[in-house]
């Protein structure tokens, strides 16, 4: 059983409250009022409402903290050392097509004594399965099975060490974004030498599932901080190795590769 800190309790409560509207509207998905945000990238009324609920609840408990939001951009708080990074609906396209695979992602970034900012707490919540994946820096990673009554279980990555037996996850560049040719080359290299590749459409859950050992590895390019901030910490605290495919800070570059210690170098080599 994980010993939840005050801030993790606040974050989980905010995610669960936001999920209520998401679940209600998901059951009536054909009635959602949507607006076009870009090719293959829709923003829904449910998305915006979930973000509002999350911000409202987090601000009430941590009124000075800043925010980086997928929909609302940046909110500068009086406390410049703490910032929440929020994706209220990772997997928006799935959601709007009635596909039950999406998540709420909340991370807390902290700067201490002028040192580089780091993610110190993160959660990825799947409202459909009621699975709450979460981690705090130095405390390990866990999943709460919610309605299944499993309590908090510690996450561990897959122990597979043979690439051809391993299952990987990735994301496909959206219409209108560069990188399709490079992606197809990478996909060919991994698919041709592994047990398979899955594309589920929610990077935060891809990372959480890799942390849980469901996938043996994950890679994707061009992701935003809110897509991966929480998932990166969860994967690292579970024992996965997470790196940037383009060098530098993975949350800043958005080019991510994640796997266990036995497979990470092989996967990186396949990705060129």
State the CATH number of the domain containing residue 56. 3.30.540.10
Q: What is the pLDDT along the chain (272 residues), one digit of tens a residue?
A: 678 999 999 999 999 999 999 999 888 776 655 655 543 344 578 889 999 999 999 999 999 999 999 888 999 999 999 999 999 999 998 988 889 999 999 999 999 888 889 999 999 999 999 999 999 999 999 999 866 666 899 999 999 999 999 999 999 887 666 777 888 999 999 999 999 999 999 999 999 999 999 999 999 999 999 999 999 999 999 999 999 999 999 999 999 999 999 999 999 999 98
CA distances from 42 to 25, 48, 125, 176 (A): 15, 11, 21, 14
Does residue 1 fall inside a structural domain? no
Q: What is the pTM of this model?
A: 0.93
Q: Distance between CA 188 and CA 62 in Å, rounded?
A: 46
Q: Distance between CA 9 and CA 17 in Å, rounded?
A: 12
Same-domain check for residues 129 and 255: no
Same-domain check for residues 250 and 150: no
Does residue 83 fall inside a structural domain? yes
Same-domain check for residues 136 and 181: no
Q: What CATH code is carried by the domain that includes residue 240?
A: 3.40.190.80
How many domains in the chain? 2
Same-domain check for residues 22 and 139: yes
Q: Which positions make up the binding site for Mg(2+)?
A: 70, 87, 89-90, 227
Give me the domain span that covers residue 76. Answer: 6-154
Q: Which positions make up the binding site?
A: 70, 87, 89-90, 227
């Amino acid at each position: 059983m994980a010993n939840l800190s005050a801030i993790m309790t606040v974050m989980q409560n905010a995610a669960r409250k936001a999920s209520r509207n998401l679940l209600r509207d998901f059951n009536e998905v054909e009635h959602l009022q949507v607006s076009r945000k870009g090719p293959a990238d829709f923003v829904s009324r449910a998305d915006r409402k979930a973000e509002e609920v999350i911000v409202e609840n987090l601000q009430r408990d941590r009124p000075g903290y800043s925010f980086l939001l997928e929909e609302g951009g940046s909110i500068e708080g009086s406390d410049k050392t703490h910032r929440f990074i929020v994706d209220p609906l990772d997997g928006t396209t799935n959601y709007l097509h009635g596909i039950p695979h999406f998540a709420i992602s909340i991370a807390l970034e902290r700067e201490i004594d002028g040192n580089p900012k780091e993610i110190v707490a993160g959660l990825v919540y799947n409202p459909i399965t009621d699975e709450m994946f979460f981690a705090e820096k130095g405390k390990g990673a866990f999943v709460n099975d919610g309605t299944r009554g499993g309590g908090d279980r510690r996450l561990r990555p897959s122990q597979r060490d043979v690439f051809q037996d391993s299952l990987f996850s990735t994301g496909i560049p959206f219409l209108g974004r560069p990188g399709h040719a490079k992606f197809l080359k990478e996909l060919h290299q991994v698919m041709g030498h592994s047990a398979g590749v899955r594309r589920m459409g929610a990077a935060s859950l891809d990372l959480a599932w890799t942390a849980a050992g469901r996938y043996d590895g994950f890679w994707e390019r061009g992701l935003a901080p809110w897509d991966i901030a929480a998932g990166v910490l969860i994967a690292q605290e579970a024992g996965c190795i997470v790196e940037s495919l383009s060098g530098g800070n993975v949350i800043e570059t958005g080019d991510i590769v994640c796997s266990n210690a036995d497979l990470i170098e092989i996967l990186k080599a396949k990705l060129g």
